[in-house]
Structure 1
Amino acid sequence: MTMIRSIVAATDFSPGSDAAVERAVQLARAHGASLCLLHAFDVSAWHSLRRVFDAQRLTMDPPPDVRMRQRLTELAAALATQTGIEVDASFSVGDPESAIKAYATAHTPSLVVIGSRAEPAMSGLGSTAAKVLRSPTCPILIVRSAGARPYDKVLSAVDMREGSVRAAKAAFSLFPAAHHHLVFAVQLELDPWGISGNSRAQIPQMLDSMHAQATQELQQLAQSLAGLAVHPVATDVADDVPARAILVRAAELPADCVVVGHHGEGAMSESPLGSMAQHVLHHTLRDVLVVP
C-alpha cells in the first residue's frame, strides 16, 4: 500500500474550499499525514474589485494580501491545535491554478484536495478545478459534499487498462476502511451499416462472451486488492456506456466518492482529461478522485 505522507488543500475561504479543507483534515488525521493549506492571492481579481467598488475602502490598512496571509496562518494554527496534526500554510501571489501546480511539482504531495466550485452544492466544476485537472502530477480529490465523515462507499471505474487499475489502487490506499466497489462497463461497438443478418444474430453471444471475460478480469483484480481493504471488494460488470454506467451505479449505491483515471476511456481524447472522466465530473454531485 502506498504511504500517504502529505496532503495539500487549496483554499480561497469559500464554502466549497471549506469543504475541501474539512476533507483534507479528515484524511490527514486518518493517515497521520502532514497538511498544507495553500492560498493564492489573485492580484488581477483584486484590481477588478478596485474598479467596481470604493477604492478607499478596499485599500484600508492592512492591505488585502496581508489580511489573507494572516487569515491563512491563523487557520493553519487553529487546525493544528484542534487536531494534533502538522499543518503548514503556503501563501503565494498569482492565479490559483499556477500556485497549485507549482507547489505540487516542488513538494510532490500524496494528494491535492480542491473544492469543486465556490458553492459545493452546484454541479459541474469551477474554473480552478477544471484547469488543475488538465495535467495533474498527483491524485486530485474534487470535493462537493460538506461534512467530513470518512467515506463509506467508494466506487472505482475500471476498464483493466493501466490508468484505471492505478486509480483503483490509489483509492484503496487513500480510503482503506471504505466499502469498495469496482465497476467495469462493457460496451459493444459495432458499425450499424455493416451488420448483416448473421452478425445481428451473433450479437447476444458476443455480449455474453465480453461480459464473462470482464467478470473474470474484474474478480481477479478484486482479489489482488482485497488485502488492502477492511471489507470484501464488490464487483459489477455493466452492459452500458461507461460514463452512464458509473453515474447510475454511483447513485444506486449511493457512493460517497467516485474514482476515475485521468484518461478515462482513453488517451486519444482531444482533452488530456478523458471523456468518461469529464462526463462524470460534470454530472455527479459526489466527490471525485482523479488519478493521473
Structure 2
Amino acid sequence: MEAIRTILCPVDFSPATERQLAFAADLCRLFGAKLVLHHNLAVAPPGAGVGWMWSGEHGGAPSEAGDEERLRRLMATLPEGIEVEAKITHGLPSTSVVTVGELVGADLVVITTHGKSPEEHTSVTEQVLDRARCGVLALHEAREGEAPERLVAAGEPPRPVVVPTDFSKESMAAVECAFELARRLPLEPHLLHVVSPGGVAAKATSEEPSSALAEESRRRLAELVPADLDGRVFVHVGVGDPGHEIAAAAERLVAAFVVMGEHTRAGWRRWLTRDTSRAVLHEVRCPVWYVPGTAA
C-alpha cells in the first residue's frame, strides 16, 4: 500500500458533507496526511479554473466570498493537529475534482455519491473514478434518520471489511490496502472470490466442477493471509454475478466498507468490470474504497 500523504475532500455543503468530512479527518489522523478541502462553484465550459483560497483582504465575488466563509467554518470544526487548506474552482465538477487532485498530488479522494445516475449519464463520482489517478473512497448519503457513520467509532468491536479479489495484480492492490488498514484499525478483512454459476471463472475450464473450483479458490484466498493477521482475516467464495455477490456480502456482514482493486480508469480485468464497479457503488450502502492497481 502506497503512503497516503494528501487527502482531497470535495464538498458541496449538502447534508452529506458532515459525514464526508468526518471520514476524511479520521483518515488524516490515521495516516498523518494533509487535508485539502475543495468546493466547485459553477458549471463552465470544459476545463477548470483553479484558485487557491485567498487571504482575508481579498475582495472576491459575493458568491465566492460566501463559499469561502463556509469553507473556513468547516475547517474550524476539524480536530487540532490536522494540516488543512482549501481550494475553490470554477468548472465542470468532475473535471475540477480530477484537476485539483493532480495539482495537490492527492493520494486519495473522499467523495459522496448522491445516488444512481440515469442509464445515459454518469454521475460525478463515476466520472472521477474513470479519470482519477489516485484511490477514491466513495461514501453514500445517509438515509433519513440514520446517524452519520465514522470510519471506525471509538470503543466498538472490530468491523468487517469486504475485499473482493480475482487474484489479478489490480485486485491484489486492494487486498494489501485492506491488510494495512487492519493493522492500523479494528477491522476484519473478509476476502471474497466469485465464481460463475457454471463453475467457470477466470482460468477454469468447463470440465472443472464448481465444488472443486470453490475449494481451490478458498485455498488461494487463505494463502494470501499474512502471518501477523492470522485469525483476523476470513475467506469466502461466492457463486453468481460478482456485483451482486459483493453487495450481498457487504449487507450480510454489515461491512464498514468495501475495498476494491483497480477502478475503471485503466480498465478492469476478468470479472472486475466497469459494470461490476458501478453495481457495487450503487447497490451497497457502505462506503467503497477503490484502489488503483499501481498501488500494490
Deviations 1:30-82 (A, max 9, x none): 2221111111111559xxxxxxxxxxxxxxx9611221122213322x035x3
Q: CA shift at 1:114, angstroms?
A: 0.2
Secondary structure at the aligned position of 1:15 is classed as coil
Query: Which residue in the other structure is 1:90 paired with?
Result: 87
Q: Which residue of 1 aligns with 2:130?
A: 134
| CA-CA distance at 1:263 after TM superposition | 5.0
Q: What one-letter code is carried by the residue in structure 1 that aligns with 2:137?
A: L
| CA distance in 2: counterparts of 1:256 and 1:231, whole angstroms | 19
User: What is the TM-score of this pair, normalised by structure 2?
Assistant: 0.76
Match of 2:242 in 1: 242
Asked if the contact 1:219–1:235 (Cα under 8 Å) also holds between the matched residues in 2, the reply is yes
Aligned twin of 1:194: none
Residue 77 of structure 2: which of 72, 76, 79 is its match? 79
Deviation at 1:27, TM superposition (A): 1.1
Instruction: Tell whether the 8 Å contact from 1:79 to 1:87 is kept in structure 2 after alignment.
Output: no
The number of residues matched between the two structures is 254
Does 2:180 correspond to 1:168?
no
Q: What code does the residue aligned with 1:286 have?
A: C
> Does structure 1 conserve the Cα–Cα contact (< 8 Å) formed by 2:116 and 2:123?
no
Q: How does 1:1-292 map to 2 (within 5 A)?
A: 1-43=1-43, 63-76=62-75, 78-80=76-78, 82-117=79-114, 123-124=115-116, 127-144=123-140, 145=142, 146-150=148-152, 152-174=159-181, 176=183, 177=185, 178-189=187-198, 206-223=209-226, 226-227=227-228, 232-263=232-263, 267=267, 274-292=274-292
Cα RMSD (Å): 3.0
Kept in 1, the 8 Å contact 2:193–2:238? The answer is yes
Aligned to 1:52: none
Residue 54 of structure 1 aligns with which residue? none
Deviation at 1:9, TM superposition (A): 0.7
Q: Which runs of 5+ in 2 are unaligned?
A: 46-59, 143-147, 154-158
Distance 1:102 1:244, change over 3 A: same
1:240/1:105 CA distance change after superposition, 3 Å? same
Deviations 1:220-262 (CA, angstroms, capped at 9, x unpaired) = 1123xx54x5961111112222112111111111101012224
With over 3 angstroms needed to count, the CA separation of the structure-2 counterparts of 1:172 and 1:142, relative to structure 1, is: same
Report the alpha carbon displacement of residue 3 of structure 1 after superposing the two structures with TM: 2.4
Identity of matched residues, %: 27
Distance 1:148 1:230, change over 3 A: farther
Give how far 1:8 is off. Answer: 1.1
Q: Runs of 4 or more off by more than 4 Å in structure 1?
A: 188-191
* Alpha carbons of structure 1 residues 6 and 94: separation in structure 2 relative to 1, 3 Å: same
Q: Is the 8 A contact 2:199 2:210 kept in 1?
A: no
The residue type equivalent to 1:79 in the other structure is T
Partners of 1:262 and 1:277 within 8 A in 2: no
- TM-score normalised to structure 1 length: 0.77
Structure label with greater radius of gyration? 1
User: Partners of 2:161 and 2:222 in 1: how far apart?
Assistant: 17
Displacement of 1:147 in angstroms is 2.7
Deviation of the 1:16 alpha carbon:
2.1
TM superposition shift of 1:267: 3.5
* Counterpart residue number, 2:48: none
Give unpaired runs (5+ residues) of structure 1. 46-60, 118-122, 192-198
- Aligned partners of 2:263 and 2:290 also within 8 Å: no
Deviation at 1:129, TM superposition (A): 1.1
Moved more, 84-93 or 145-154: 145-154
More helix by share: 1
